Chain A
Amino acid sequence: MPGLGASFGRGGATNFLEDLSNADCIVIEGSNMAECHPVGFQWVGEAKARGAKIIHIDPRFTRTSAIADLHVPLRIGTDIAFLGGLINHVLSNDLYFEEYVVAYTNAAAIVSQDFIDSEDADGLFSGFDPESRVYDEDSWQYETEEPAQSDAENPAEAAQQEQLDDQPAVRASDQAQAAGSGGPPIPGKPKRDETLQHPRSVFQILKRHYARYTPEMVSEVCGIEPEVFAQVAEWVTSNSNRDRTTAWVYSVGWTQHSVGAQYIRTCSILQTLLGNIGRPGGGIMALRGHASIQGSTDIPTLFNILPGYLPMPHALQHDSLEEYVADAAGKAGFWGNKRAYMTSLLKAWWGDAATAENDFAFGYLPRINGDHSSYRTIADMIEGKVSGYFLVGENPVVGHPNGRMNRFGLANLDWLVVRDLQMIESATFWNQSPEIETGELAPETIATEVFFMPAATHVEKEGTFTQTQRLLQWRDKAVEPPNDARSDLWFFYHLGRILRERLADSDDPRDRPLLDLTWDYPTHGETQDPSAEAVLREINGVGPDGKALSSYMQMKDDGSTSGGCWIYTGVYADEVNQAARRKPASEQGAVASEWGWAWPLNRRMLYNRASADPAGKPWSERKKYVYWDEAAGEWTGADVPDFEKNKRPDYVPAHGAKAQDALSGTDPFVMQGDGKAWLYAPSGVVDGPLPTHYEPVESVVENALYKQQANPTVERIDGPWNRENPSRSEVFPFQVTTYRLTEHHTAGAMSRTLPYLAELQPEFFVEVSPELAALRGLTHGDYATLVSARTAIEAKVLVTERVRPIKLRDGQVVHQIGMPYHWSYSGISTGDSANDLLGIVLDPNTHIQEDKVSTADIVPGRRPRGPALLEFVEDYRRRAGVASGRVGVNGRDPVAADAGEGSSL
């Protein structure tokens, strides 16, 4: 998300699935689209049928590779080196789209003279503090035209905010992700050199940064022959120009790395240089993995953001609404209206209790002041710091890496509420988990109360999912849920109702936010299910006349408008549930604007002003999409323009203009403070303004580029339950990657319990190459045991050439193991859980774990049972020089546990 957000201003796919059919070349990288998004893959098929080249870059040969014209089996965890190689190829051979780059990107921006590139400091950018392992971003900034055009309103405040930005407690709070809609704030517009020749211009910095990413270096790092690299480079560059476009498709094969956000940044840089963003058949298609994962960040249940990517207020920075909006006040771009969006949110939540006098109840919001993300919270649970936990359609003891650590977390709660369809492993950890067998857990020692609350399925409730292309689609309720099963909307609405009833007489100020909350949704039916449509309308927002707003442009900062998620404003325009629109595809054009509703403002392709040249004319007839109609004085075309409809292409902002008025007619990236796509990110990405190759945390290979082996800012959570395999360890000599199968869904609760799907994929297996099978004596169809510093698991062996050993230039052979992660002990189809093998190390931008690449050993036969398993794994740790993984009662620290302390430490 910060990858796309920091590059373009919004953390969403820039295009839509159907538009892939307009591509002349499609690169699928970090995704097995044919198997994981099979129905979406039909659009790749359409493109191929029209003559497009399809390239699949992935360590494994899959059904996606089978359809592709070229499969590039790069070594796991080396995508930045490969993409960096392509960037270098484009820059050194002048293959970039010059007019596009000069006009629409920050290539011409001049960077501060204090900036030192990682190429000049052996893998570290300027500003690194070795103690806190955090970057101070001050030296990465642009050289600005005039001192802070933006800070005029409250210069002292803004300056103070910037200082606070660099505090580790603020960095850890992941403000980067707030760039999901509205790029990261910058102090002012940069100085520019339109010739791109200034040595400190972004363009020249980029050139120098990637100069060493030659085909030979790609070969050394990725294990890809220079001829194969040359073929990819040729297809991509020859299909990226005025007449032709290339699309890139990625998925969690990119995000789940210690440098995940930077993977996406690298692709963003390349696609921007090639002029492929905002154009038909171009773009970056982010394939989300769940029905509403895009929706779950747009309207987040995430600790660091509020709906619409507004950051959660931070204790160090945001004492008042004034301070909260100081970074945006007076800024260029739509970010400049942050105060209106926030005020509308506060009005939606606290209604009449939110007044100008009380800062619109800004003080009612709880403050964050560090990393409060999921994995940190699990560690806090083990330490007894968390009393209660709600799991709402989530099965972390299977779906998250390091299941054992997750189970220890649950075992130290006071209470746990599990809302699901089936009796998932996260509800039965207390009597069925693997640790019961090893003796590390027992029902008699676990005080956690568990409430299993049955949930409604997708057809037993109404509501919207936001799918992968930012499209909201409404579902009608087909039937009532059985027995006690209820929607999550029902559960949280009625829980809120009961809590408010209990506190009705309270005069404690801390209860005011609950008591003043707007919580009067109409209910229907015997079960009193709240109306999801009423909630959607509140999300959309209403104006002073009490009517639904049709655009976030109507939002005011004076409290006269409300709206729970500004980027979704318009979904209820004209008092109509726009997400419920189902005009058949056959009755409308290719963009299908009347099927569902996409944020923002039903724009299906983002930044589509860039599909026209600076003068507003299509770059070519073949790639015509949105363009300026001089006679009508407006932007027009196949889609809703992602630009102010009547802003002329030759519009130049007046001195002192603010918000969108400060962006010119040639600034297509309207959420960015400078209106440009960012080749270089002066802020918003905490581990560097430019992506650079680091090895994964658990790698068997030495970094060929720098002494700095792995991402220096990687986030670790230390404890006996989360030991790390040392880098380049002979004890853990093989790379492992995890993946999904077509027939199963994530942690398996929605697939291992279904007879059809369980029959199609009945058991847990691992893929190994014939070479690795020979090396370790593994037999196809027999069991093998995989071992890490966390635990050991067993799986059936599938010997296949689909995974191949990578031979690096110095002769080192890297063996890779593929492992689907859907199994555990419950359901119809059962097996060990792949995620138990993995540890937790996190991307510092997103706090997402690196589970796409780790290390392990593999040996023939089944794993030891019971306490013998613990000794088996401990022996591995000893041999690898890793600290003990032994734990005390319920996974607690052995000493504390010996002292006999209970779960409520």
Chain B
Amino acid sequence: MTQVKTWLESWPVYRQLTGSDPFGRGSAARSKATEATVARTATADRVVKSVCPYCAVGCAQNVYVKDEKVVQIEGDPNSPISRGRLCPKGSASKQLVTSPSRVTTVKYRRPYGTEWEDLELDTAMEMIADRVLEARRKGWQDSDEDGRHLGRTMGIASLGGATLDNEENYLMKKLYSAMGAIQIENQARI
């Protein structure tokens, strides 16, 4: 008899019809599988404090890491601004990190080329340095037509997105200014 009762009570519809959860949205809907399920946030190795990279509200995020992989990103309830909430984009931001279509190696397209080619990161850095020095030289202006000091190059331009960190923007402006590049712009213009 007890066995039958246990068997019957393991059946959600029975519990829904006889128990305190007539709409089947709570205890009646739970199964053995439910009981065995543990949230990824509970088993993460660590929680790292971050900030959503989309709009400028600056919602605080908790990033859950297990085995050096991001397993979940959630809103941080401690934030006085976002109070733990995230919008659809912020909620999807784990996919931004783990996206299978992310390109994680250097790709190179040569002049008049029709295909991408692979390139070592170090090689690419050296090639870019070559081109920066050459473009800088080619576009260099010591002074304007009236002899006023310019000390700049018109050969190099840059456009940075507004998801750059302050520290990144700072190093960019510092380096570009030192090399004499002035056509330095940002999404903030847009």
Interface string of A382-423 (1 = CB under 8 A from B): 000111111111101001100000000000001101001111
A391 & B159 in contact (Cβ 8 Å cutoff): yes
Interface string of A345-378 (1 = CB under 8 A from B): 0000100000000000001111111001110010
Bound together, the chains give a CA A481 to CA B86 distance in angstroms of: 23
Q: Which 5 A-B pairs have the closest CB atoms?
A: A467-B58, A393-B161, A463-B165, A366-B152, A290-B162
In whole Å, how far is B85's beta carbon from the nearest beta carbon of chain A?
5
Q: Does B150 contact A (CB under 8 A)?
A: yes
Best-buried of A291, A420, A431, A449 by chain B (most CB within 10 Å): A291
Bound together, the chains give a CA A252 to CA B186 distance in angstroms of: 15
Best-buried of A38, A443, A471 by chain B (most CB within 10 Å): A38
In whole Å, how far is B132's beta carbon from the nearest beta carbon of chain A?
6
Whether A374 touches B178, Cβ cut-off 8 Å, given contacts A451-B124, A535-B167, is no
A453 & B92 in contact (Cβ 8 Å cutoff): no
Contact of B56 among A42, A293, A299, A530 (CB under 8 A): A293
B109 & A450 in contact (Cβ 8 Å cutoff): yes
Q: Does B54 contact A (CB under 8 A)?
A: yes
Number of chain B interface residues as a range: 35 or more
Interface string of B97-125 (1 = CB under 8 A from A): 10101111111111111101001010011
Q: Does B12 contact A (CB under 8 A)?
A: no
A450 & B59 in contact (Cβ 8 Å cutoff): no
9 pairs of residues in contact across A and B, judged by CB atoms under 8 Å = A42-B83, A42-B85, A302-B188, A349-B174, A399-B187, A414-B135, A443-B114, A464-B167, A465-B53
B172 & A492 in contact (Cβ 8 Å cutoff): yes
Q: How many chain-A residues does the 8 Å CB contact rule pick out?
A: 163
B167 & A532 in contact (Cβ 8 Å cutoff): yes
Task: Give residues of chain A (749-764) contacting chain B, Cβ–Cβ below 8 Å.
Answer: 750-751, 753-757, 760
CB-CB nearest in chain B for A465: B51
CB-CB nearest in chain B for A848: B189
Bound together, the chains give a CA A847 to CA B51 distance in angstroms of: 30
Whether A443 touches B112, Cβ cut-off 8 Å, given contacts A38-B87, A301-B173, A584-B78, is yes
B160 & A289 in contact (Cβ 8 Å cutoff): no
B residues adjacent to A (C-beta < 8 A): 48-60, 63, 65, 68-70, 73, 76, 78-83, 85-93, 95-97, 99, 101-114, 116, 119, 121, 124-129, 131-135, 138-140, 142, 144, 148-190
Which of chain A's residues have a CB closer than 8 A to the CB of B70?
A: 459, 478-479
Whether A290 touches B161, Cβ cut-off 8 Å, given contacts A42-B85, A536-B166, is yes
Contact of B169 among A299, A460, A754 (CB under 8 A): A299
A463 & B166 in contact (Cβ 8 Å cutoff): yes
CB-CB nearest in chain A for B109: A450
Bound together, the chains give a CA A42 to CA B82 distance in angstroms of: 8
Bound together, the chains give a CA A565 to CA B124 distance in angstroms of: 32
Which of chain A's residues have a CB closer than 8 A to the CB of B56?
A: 37, 287-294, 467-468
Contact of B170 among A307, A389, A420, A421 (CB under 8 A): A307
Interface string of A566-602 (1 = CB under 8 A from B): 0010000000000010111110100010010000000
Interface string of A296-319 (1 = CB under 8 A from B): 111111110011000010011001
CB-CB nearest in chain A for B64: A478
B111 & A448 in contact (Cβ 8 Å cutoff): yes
Bound together, the chains give a CA A513 to CA B52 distance in angstroms of: 36
Bound together, the chains give a CA A387 to CA B125 distance in angstroms of: 17
A372 & B182 in contact (Cβ 8 Å cutoff): yes
In whole Å, how far is B108's beta carbon from the nearest beta carbon of chain A?
6
Task: Give residues of chain A (250-275) contacting chain B, Cβ–Cβ below 8 Å.
Answer: 256
A421 & B99 in contact (Cβ 8 Å cutoff): yes
Which of chain A's residues have a CB closer than 8 A to the CB of B49?
A: 474-476, 580, 582
- For the complex with contacts A42-B85, A306-B173, A489-B167, 16 further pairs of A-B residues with Cβ separation under 8 Å are A37-B56, A39-B85, A293-B56, A295-B165, A296-B186, A307-B170, A366-B152, A377-B185, A387-B156, A389-B157, A431-B114, A459-B70, A459-B97, A484-B105, A584-B78, A742-B87
